[in-house]
Chains A and B, each alone.
Chain A
């Protein structure tokens, strides 16, 4: 039982942080709890001997995605929640029922199949050198495609979120503004 303690503590941290991220009212607290949940998952990856994936999870999720979410909350004024405003959908019990059905449909086959309860025999390693070797040989085409996709996503994100230029229908506006300032000063 004591040897299961690292896994159990990480699992409880991940689940509690995920539940808190989905239930808290303040959106900044939601984002911080989501980052804690991602960090707990990274710890579980490290326990599963997948070091590179664990550190990539910390870099991408705990670092980049959490910061992106916090900035979006800042830009959409999501942190100032009014006191009486509901944060959940009106059909709470329907949604919870659908989620419970999904959970039971996922868990029931796991508990029933005996082959999933075997203990690990091998102790596999995923050294960074081996990952780099297969990335440069076997998976080189997906790697290049991912590079293209990330570039497209970067450009797309900037273009979508960019402030649109105001339509130039009133060319007299810039010339009028300084004169008003002058009259104020006078």
Chain B
């Protein structure tokens, strides 16, 4: 286990960019939500990596933050997917470019 911290951070940056590209480029709202989950996971990886390499790992701060972050991400996914289902019931589509009722 002689991997420097920067490798984890670069992996996290790559994962964030992939999720970001998917979230802004895909048309289906479900895939947009998957991209957001990937971005959240990239942030969690940063917290765990900094906890592992940090000077005071016994304080467990990074681990606690990730546990709460996972709980909040689960709530966000549940509400977001329920919104997708509600939009599909009203508009009969989940393509984000066709849901333009608030477009100026």
Question: Hey, which bits of chain A sit against chain B, CB under 8 A?
Answer: 3-4, 7, 11, 14-15, 18-19, 21-23, 27, 30-31, 34, 37-38, 41, 44-45, 47-50, 52-53, 56-57, 60-61, 64-65, 68-69, 71-73, 75-76, 78, 86-89, 92, 95-96, 98-100, 102-103, 106-107, 110-111, 116-120, 122, 124, 126, 130-131, 134-135, 139, 142, 146, 149-150, 152-154, 156-158, 160-161, 163-164
Checking B24, B38, B52, B76 against A34 with a beta-carbon cut-off of 8 angstroms, the contacting residue is: B38
A-B contact pairs, 15 of them (CB 8 A): A44-B11, A45-B45, A48-B52, A50-B51, A50-B63, A53-B66, A76-B84, A102-B16, A102-B20, A117-B4, A118-B4, A124-B52, A126-B51, A149-B71, A149-B72
CB–CB B71/A4 < 8 A: no
CB–CB A15/B11 < 8 A: yes
CB–CB A68/B24 < 8 A: no
CB nearest neighbor in B for A89: B25
Q: How far is the CA of A69 from the CA of B16 in the complex (A)?
A: 19
Residues of A within 8 A of B103 (CB): none
Q: How far is the CA of A116 from the CA of B7 in the complex (A)?
A: 9
Q: Which interface residue of A14, A152, A163 has the most chain B CB atoms within 10 A?
A: A14
CB–CB A116/B34 < 8 A: no
CB–CB B30/A119 < 8 A: no
Interface contacts beyond A111-B10, A117-B4, A156-B82: sample of 19 additional A-B pairs, CB < 8 Å, sorted by A: A18-B18, A18-B19, A37-B38, A48-B8, A50-B63, A53-B66, A61-B41, A76-B30, A88-B27, A89-B25, A96-B21, A117-B5, A118-B5, A119-B2, A126-B57, A130-B60, A135-B64, A149-B72, A160-B79
Q: How far is the CA of A4 from the CA of B11 in the complex (A)?
A: 14
Given contacts A7-B7, A50-B48, contact A68 B85 (CB under 8 A): no
CB–CB B60/A110 < 8 A: no
Q: Is the interface of A mostly helix, strand, loop or mixed?
A: helix
* Chain B interface residue number, banded: 35 or more
CB–CB A161/B86 < 8 A: yes
From residue 26 to 76 of chain B, which have CB atoms closer than 8 A to chain A?
A: 26-28, 30-31, 33-35, 37-38, 41, 44-45, 48-49, 51-53, 57-58, 60, 63-64, 66-68, 70-76
CB–CB A124/B25 < 8 A: no
Residues of A within 8 A of B14 (CB): 15, 103
CB–CB A72/B3 < 8 A: no
Residues of B within 8 A of A4 (CB): 2-3
CB–CB B51/A124 < 8 A: yes
Instruction: Tell me the minimal C-beta distance from B48 to chain A in angstroms.
Output: 5
Instruction: Tell me the minimal C-beta distance from A109 to chain B in angstroms.
Output: 9
